[in-house]
């Protein structure tokens, strides 16, 4: 849990955009972009985690929103102290071609299929309580002193840079936006994508 509030972050962003009176960039608009951007950064870096209990049933397929409504992706499934192996869903067939109806004493492997499906195989013969650890959608901020944001404070500048880049797009300040994105690309592992964005911008100016 961080120590930063929405109103403080909006004030700082308004200073960055040279609009402390919020004439060009309304505080509500900044807040809506800030909330989505913090969720995107958290999805990328897995900063905010939570856990839920999943009791296995007579199927390997589980509806993720039924486990918890704020799951971005499942990162770990544990059977007490034993951690299940995570595989891409395309590799389930390499575990066993009959994985859909595979039963066993304990679950061994899990896979995410998009945002809505979780596969756990083999299906335990006896219903088992598993602990699902997942990247959690962070709490939305408000233009107020509470709630405090969920992300670690050391990622403040990264999130604010991303919000600044989005809002500079709104102002059609593409060169300034490009500079901001190049600054945050290493932290987010997006160097290649940002290079492609720069080359695309160069082409449109030719």
Residues in contact with other proteins by CB under 8 A are 29, 32-33, 36-37, 39-44, 58-59, 61-65, 69-73, 89, 92-93, 97-102, 112-117, 137, 165-166, 169-172, 174, 177, 181, 188-190, 193-194, 196-197, 200-201, 204
**What is the spatial distance between Cα 87 and Cα 109, in angstroms, rounded to a whole number?**
7
The residue among 85 and 196 lying less far from other proteins, judged by its C-beta, is: 196
* CB of residue 30 to other proteins, shortest distance in Å: 9
Query: 3-class DSSP state for residue 173?
Result: coil
Contact by Cβ (8 Å): 140, 35: yes
Question: Residues 6 or more apart from 42 whose CB is under 8 A from it?
Answer: 48, 72, 135, 136, 137, 138, 150, 151
* CB of residue 193 to other proteins, shortest distance in Å: 6
Q: Do strands 117-121 and 61-63 pair parallel, antiparallel, or not at all (unpaired)?
A: antiparallel
The residue among 66 and 80 lying less far from other proteins, judged by its C-beta, is: 66
**What is the spatial distance between Cα 135 and Cα 130, in angstroms, rounded to a whole number?**
16
* CB of residue 11 to other proteins, shortest distance in Å: 19
* CB of residue 4 to other proteins, shortest distance in Å: 19
* CB of residue 98 to other proteins, shortest distance in Å: 5
Give the chain's length: 206
The residue among 4 and 136 lying less far from other proteins, judged by its C-beta, is: 136
Point out which residues pair with 117 in neighbouring strands: 63, 113
Contact by Cβ (8 Å): 136, 39: no
* CB of residue 8 to other proteins, shortest distance in Å: 21
The residue among 80 and 191 lying less far from other proteins, judged by its C-beta, is: 191
**What is the spatial distance between Cα 84 and Cα 82, in angstroms, rounded to a whole number?**
6
The residue among 80 and 189 lying less far from other proteins, judged by its C-beta, is: 189
Is the peptide bond preceding residue 194 cis, with omega within 30 degrees of 0?
no
The residue among 145 and 189 lying less far from other proteins, judged by its C-beta, is: 189
């Amino acid at each position: 849990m961080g120590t930063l509030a929405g109103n403080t972050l909006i004030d700082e962003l308004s200073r960055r955009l040279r609009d402390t009176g919020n004439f060009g960039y309304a505080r509500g608009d900044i807040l809506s972009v800030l909330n989505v951007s913090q969720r995107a950064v958290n999805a990328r870096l897995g900063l905010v985690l939570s856990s839920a209990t999943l009791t296995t049933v007579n199927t390997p397929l589980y509806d993720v929103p039924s486990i918890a409504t704020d799951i971005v992706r499942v990162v770990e499934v544990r059977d007490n102290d034993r951690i299940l192996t995570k595989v891409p869903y395309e590799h389930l067939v390499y575990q066993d071609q009959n994985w859909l109806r595979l039963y066993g004493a304990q679950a061994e492997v899990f896979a995410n299929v998009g945002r809505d499906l979780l596969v756990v195989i083999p299906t335990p013969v006896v219903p088992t309580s598993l602990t699902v650890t997942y990247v959690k959608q962070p709490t939305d901020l408000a233009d107020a002193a509470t709630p405090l944001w969920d992300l670690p404070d050391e990622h403040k500048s990264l999130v604010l840079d991303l919000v600044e880049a989005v809002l500079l797009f709104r102002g059609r300040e593409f060169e300034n936006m490009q500079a901001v994105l190049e600054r945050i690309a290493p932290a987010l592992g997006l160097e290649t994508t940002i290079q492609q964005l720069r080359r695309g911008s160069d082409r449109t100016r030719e």
